[in-house]
Structure 1
Amino acid sequence: MSKKWLPPEEFAATLPHATIFGAVFFTDEDNRPVQLRATYSSAHPWQWPGGIAEAGERPWETAVRECREETGIHLVGPPRLLATVFGLPGKDWPLATVGFVFDGGRLPTGQLAEIVLDPDEHDQVCALTVPEWQELMPGRDHARLEAVMGARHAGIPAYFDTWDWEA
């Protein structure tokens, strides 16, 4: 069987397209996950500091930039990967999503109280137990939270591939 080799730009046009995000996962001193309430998304109301990578930006750089912009927290490395998150495209978003969740560690009470939210993006920061978060989040968001907490406890990064956009 013969194959026709395409120039790189033509071959690239045949491949799936995806957005890339970087996020930071924190817990408080009692090991309760810390999340921010989004002002712009009722579908995903509670989130970690993070966002979509800009052109030429690596996922860790994205996580550091977004965390600083959204909370005022300045992270330093080295990065510790907790999870890779994948989602297929759907009716509300035409691209696949590939995300990297990094461990931001435990925030002391004083630092948690000093978080400065970007009011255009978030209006509340909260630390709750994993079961308490379940009532406040869609099922797949909570499953992702459980996977990341499990990865933190196990010391082994999680691969979470069911964060698809709705078909």
Structure 2
Amino acid sequence: MIVWVNGAFGTGKTRACRELVELLPGSLLFDPELVGAGLRRLLPADRLEPAADVRDVAAWRRLVPEVAAALLGEVPGPLVVPMTLLREDHRDEIFGSLASRGLAVHHFVLDAAETILHERGAEHLADYRAARRWLVRDAQLVDVDGATPRQTAQRIAELLSEGRARCPIVRSHEGPGDTVAAAVLLFDERDRVLLVDPVYKPFWEFPGGVVERGEAPTDAAVREAAEELGLYLEPGSLRLLTVDWEPGTGPGRGGLRLVYDGGRLGSGAGGRLRLPADELRGWRFVTLDEAAALLPPGRFRRLAAALGARELGELRYLEAGVPAGRG
């Protein structure tokens, strides 16, 4: 189990977490700043300047869950983590990676009045003010105005025992092998495509998921539409648009990615969508240009190719989102 203590710089996270470790038998303090310090020594200067925010480095976001999981293999736990996370996509990436390892995350935010934060010399208050809009939905806020580190720790321990701060992220363990995944594209009356916002990864996605053992890809697309959107599609209504070979990169697995045309949902479709809160936080219909800002590059190329195939009424084979034989 992970106890992640978030908040603006200067709220006393580390001091409160040191007290919290004393209140939780078997627990261990893990400061991700140590991972950042190691990266600053290892990475070349042109990749990471000394003053850069280490949270923006992909290697840091990959290593923090790895180190956390390794530490919890050595101690009973929980692992108490004092770390500011103000970008929701960073939260999704790190917490999703922890969840994929079967580690429950309990998310707390030490919240103080801005006058108090100014007195403590807290940095990046504008960033925290903006982040607070999503933090109040995701985490359990702990008021630290006038509280000592010990009192803050005691309050966190109470909330922890009540299970009030657990992040509801359902993410099955991922093995090392390649996979086959099926996605379905759904459109509104203006031919905008539906994208969803997962809670366990930093980018938006198409509705879909990994094909289970013994399951036909078309059946997987139908199942995922039902599980993720509450929509029940007829398998015969789907048309395959693209088959994309996605190479594995970093911690991600590769494999075949099949994209189906699920047709138009029509006016008022949004009222019929039912998203599982532990997997998806939102949806929207977007144009191709709008999708460019929401999808990672490879997935955007796949979408563009699928929309092209839909327009021409053809099936396209891709590799890394690019038609085979083209650069």
Q: Which secondary structure does the structure 2 equivalent of 1:46 belong to?
A: coil
The 8 Å contact of residues 244 and 317 in structure 2, kept in 1 or not, is answered as yes
Deviation at 1:129, TM superposition (A): 1.0
1:40 equivalenced with 2:208 (yes/no): no
Q: Which secondary structure does the structure 2 equivalent of 1:116 belong to?
A: coil
Deviation at 1:22, TM superposition (A): 1.1
Matches within 5 A, 1:1-167: 18-42=178-202, 45-78=203-236, 79-93=238-252, 95-162=253-320
Deviation at 1:38, TM superposition (A): 1.0
Q: Which secondary structure does the structure 2 equivalent of 1:47 belong to?
A: coil
Deviation at 1:102, TM superposition (A): 1.1
Deviations 1:66-124 (A, max 9, x none): 1100000001031310111111223313x531121111001112223320011111111
Please state which structure has a larger fraction of its residues in helix: 2
Aligned-partner residue type, residue 66 of structure 1: E
List structure 1 segments (4+ residues) > 6 angstroms apart after TM superposition.
none
The 8 Å contact of residues 231 and 272 in structure 2, kept in 1 or not, is answered as no
Deviation at 1:46, TM superposition (A): 1.4
Deviation at 1:134, TM superposition (A): 1.3
Note the residue ranges of structure 2 that are not aligned, 5 or more in a row: 1-176, 322-327
The 8 Å contact of residues 196 and 207 in structure 2, kept in 1 or not, is answered as yes
The 8 Å contact of residues 69 and 118 in structure 1, kept in 2 or not, is answered as yes
Aligned-partner residue type, residue 18 of structure 1: D
Q: Which secondary structure does the structure 2 equivalent of 1:51 belong to?
A: strand
The 8 Å contact of residues 28 and 112 in structure 1, kept in 2 or not, is answered as no
Deviations 1:12-42 (A, max 9, x none): xxxxx52011111111110011111111101
The 8 Å contact of residues 85 and 160 in structure 1, kept in 2 or not, is answered as yes
Q: CA RMSD in A?
A: 1.4
Deviations 1:116-143 (A, max 9, x none): 0111111111011111221222222211
Deviation at 1:48, TM superposition (A): 1.4
Please state which structure has a larger fraction of its residues in strand: 1
Give the share of equivalent positions with the same residue, in percent.
33
Q: Distance in 2 between matches of 1:85 and 1:113?
A: 32
Q: Distance in 1 between matches of 2:284 and 2:179?
A: 27
Aligned-partner residue type, residue 291 of structure 2: W
| Greater relative contact order, per chain length (Cα 8 Å cut-off, separation 6+) | 1
Note the residue ranges of structure 1 that are not aligned, 5 or more in a row: 1-16
The 8 Å contact of residues 241 and 261 in structure 2, kept in 1 or not, is answered as yes
TM-score (norm 2): 0.42
The 8 Å contact of residues 83 and 151 in structure 1, kept in 2 or not, is answered as yes
Structure number, greater radius of gyration: 2
